[in-house]
Amino acid sequence: MPIERFAAHLNSYMGTPQRYGLEAAAQTYGRGAPLVINDAGHLEEAGTDPVGIQGFAAQPGANNATAGAATAFYDPLYDDEYIGSVDTSAAEGTGTSAQTQVGERFGITRSAQAGQVGRWYVDTNKTDIADQRVEIVRLIDAAATIQGRVAFKWIAT
């Protein structure tokens, strides 16, 4: 199953607000990628075990040679549900959804799997408190689905 890009799923009464920020140079992230603010104050794709997530991309990165292009992103509202896929960085492409994951907290990882590069997933291999970024609230696909979709909430970092 292809990895589902992170997206808003069930919104609070106000909806998930779309905001705009200035993009860093040479950004090639895809829609749904988590974004952070770099030292120059520009939005860029998050790295490993991101802290301070500002939102997730509403559109792909523009890949401009210079920083400063406007880009749209969604706030990671902590009361809203988002949709994404589960997988494991221990053996990418083999992670499955499980009912026991509901209520559990995990980290997120950028896929390196062929055909999935640039997509992020809920990483069931990242269970340390320092790595946790999301909490799974329910399964969308049936349990035991490889790279199954789940609904999750962001955890403030």
SS3 per residue for 84-131 = EEEECCCCCCCCECCHHHCCCEEEEEECCCCCCCCCEEEECCCCCHHH
> Whole-structure pTM over 0.85, yes or no?
yes
The domain segmentation of the chain, as residue ranges, is 17-74, 81-154
pLDDT digits (tens, 9 = 90+) for 42-84: 999 999 889 899 999 999 999 999 999 999 998 888 788 899 9
